[in-house]
Amino acid sequence: MNPEELIALGVKVRENACADYSHYKVGAALVTASGKVYTGCNVENSTYGLTVCAERVALWKALSEGERKFTQIAVVTSSEPPASPCGACRQLLWEFCGDIEVILANLQGFQKTLRLSKLFPYPFDQSTL
């Protein structure tokens, strides 16, 4: 899947975000090795601590369907520059997806593509245990 198609899916699912508190909507589209795409949006809660990021929603949907190999993820925000995954999302993406391609994009058309290892250079993973 090309980056523009993946970003378009992130833009679309971003509109489903439950962001009543921060008003900061995020959409994510995660691609499996077989080319299947799982999307997710952020879901906030009044306690904030129970809020779940778009990246994790997409990842958990894919994992719950039996997917275990991933190639890329697009994360779409409205901010300039686009936001990158938070620390918790970076940890989970590394653990379950490895050094995948991460596409950061915003609604203004900016996009940047990099490997997860650039965002998360010293991960804690199974090799550490």
CATH code where residue 103 lies? 3.40.140.10
pLDDT at site 96: 98
Mean of pLDDT values over 55-73: 98
Cis upstream peptide for 121 (omega within 30°): no
Band (115; pLDDT cuts 50, 70, 90) = very high
Q: Among all residues, which ones are annotated catalytic?
A: 55
CB distance 27 to 39 below 8 Å: yes
Place of tokens 């779940």: 52
What is the average pLDDT value for the chain, to the nearest integer?
A: 97
pLDDT at site 2: 95
Of the candidates 39, 46, 49, 53, the one whose C-alpha atom is nearest the C-alpha of residue 8 is 39
Q: How far are the Cα atoms of 91, 92, 98, 108 from residue 116, in angstroms, in the given order?
A: 10, 11, 8, 23
> How many domains is the chain built from?
1
Alpha helices in the chain (DSSP H): 3-14, 54-64, 87-97, 116-119
pTM of the model: 0.96
Quick: pLDDT tens for 71-113.
999 999 999 999 999 999 999 999 999 999 999 999 999 999 9
Band (51; pLDDT cuts 50, 70, 90) = very high
The answer as to whether 123 is a domain residue is: no
Range of the domain at 19: 3-118
